[in-house]
C-alpha cells in the first residue's frame, strides 16, 4: 500500500461529491440509459489506483470483473479512507456510490450505514445482491471488516 496519504485524503468521493449529490442526481434521471450514463460518470471520479497495490492481498474476489481495495486509517481524525479500482466501468460507478456513502467516516459511523437500503433507494439493489457475481457484496463485506478491525483496535 504505497498510495500516499494525500491520495486517500483528496479522494472527492464522500467529500466533494456527497451522498446528497448522488441522491439528487438520481432524482433527475428518467430512464435506464441516463441512470447508467450517470453511474459510468461517477466511476470516472475514482482517483487513480496505485499500480503496485494491485496485488492478491488487496484483491476482492468477485466473479467477473477485477476489483481491488486499499484503505488508510487517519489516526488524527479517526476516519477511515478507502480507494477502490475495477476494470469494469459499471462496477467502478457502483464502487463510487459505495465510497460516497462510506469514505472518510469514523469506523463506527461506517458500520452504522446501511448500503443495502441505499442501493434499494437508487433501484440498484440487484447489483449488490449475491446473485450478481460482480463482487460488490464482497467489496462491502471487506470494507466493513476493515472498519470493524479499526474500531476494535482503536477502542482498546
Partner 1 sequence: MTDLSVANTAKRPTFDVEAIRRDFPILSQQVNGKPLVYLDNGASAQKPEAVLDAMDRYYREMHSNVHRGAHTLGDRATAAFEGARETVRRFLNAESTREIIWTRGTTEAINLVANGLAPRLKAGDEILVSYMEHHANIVPWQMIAERTGAKVVPVQVTPEGELDLESFTSLLNDRTRILAITHVSNVLGTVNPVAALMEQAKARGIITLVDGAQAAPHYQPDVRALGCDFYAFSSHKLFGPTGIGVLYGKAQLLEEMPPYQGGGEMIERVSFERTTWNTLPYKFEAGTPAIAEAVGLGAAIDYLNGLDRYAMEAAESALLERANQLVETVPGMEIIGTAKQKVPVMSFKIAGLHPSDIGTLLDQQGIAIRTGHHCAMPLMDFYGVPGTARASFAFYNTLDEVESLFTALQKVQRLFA
- Among all residues, which ones are annotated catalytic? 63
Query: Taking the complex as a whole, how short is the minimal distance between the CB of residue 87 and partner 1, in angstroms?
Result: 6
Query: Taking the complex as a whole, how short is the minimal distance between the CB of residue 121 and partner 1, in angstroms?
Result: 19
Closer Cβ to partner 1, 28 or 63, answer by number:
63
Query: SS3 of 155, please?
Result: coil
Helix 136-154 vs helix 89-102: angle between axes, to the nearest 10 degrees? 30
CA–CA separation, 67 and 99 (whole Å)? 14
Query: Taking the complex as a whole, how short is the minimal distance between the CB of residue 32 and partner 1, in angstroms?
Result: 5
Closer Cβ to partner 1, 115 or 124, answer by number:
124
Closer Cβ to partner 1, 133 or 141, answer by number:
133
Query: Taking the complex as a whole, how short is the minimal distance between the CB of residue 35 and partner 1, in angstroms?
Result: 9
The residues of the shown chain that bind partner 1, judged by CB under 8 A, are: 32-33, 36-37, 40, 63-66, 87-91, 127, 133-134
CA distances from 42 to 38, 109, 155 (A): 6, 23, 34
Closer Cβ to partner 1, 11 or 86, answer by number:
86
CA distances from 118 to 2, 26, 49, 64, 98 (A): 31, 12, 25, 23, 9
CA–CA separation, 4 and 90 (whole Å)? 26
User: Could you tell me the three cell numbers for 93?
Assistant: 460507478
Q: Whose CA is closest to 116, among 103, 131, 104, 127? A: 127
Amino acid at each position: 500500500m504505497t498510495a500516499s496519504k494525500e491520495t486517500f485524503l483528496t479522494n472527492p468521493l464522500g467529500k466533494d461529491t456527497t451522498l446528497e449529490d448522488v441522491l439528487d442526481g438520481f432524482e433527475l434521471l428518467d430512464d435506464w440509459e441516463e441512470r447508467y450514463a450517470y453511474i459510468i460518470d461517477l466511476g470516472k471520479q475514482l482517483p487513480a489506483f496505485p499500480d503496485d497495490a494491485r496485488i492478491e492481498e488487496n484483491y476482492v474476489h468477485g466473479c467477473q470483473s477485477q476489483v481491488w481495495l486499499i484503505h488508510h486509517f487517519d489516526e488524527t481524525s479517526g476516519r477511515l479512507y478507502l480507494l477502490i479500482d475495477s476494470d469494469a466501468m459499471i462496477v467502478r460507478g457502483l464502487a463510487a456510490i459505495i465510497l460516497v456513502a462510506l469514505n472518510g467516516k469514523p469506523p463506527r459511523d461506517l458500520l452504522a450505514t446501511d448500503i443495502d437500503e441505499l442501493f434499494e433507494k437508487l433501484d440498484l439493489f440487484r447489483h449488490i445482491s449475491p446473485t450478481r457475481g460482480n463482487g460488490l457484496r464482497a467489496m462491502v463485506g471487506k470494507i466493513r471488516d476493515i472498519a470493524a478491525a479499526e474500531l476494535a483496535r482503536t477502542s482498546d
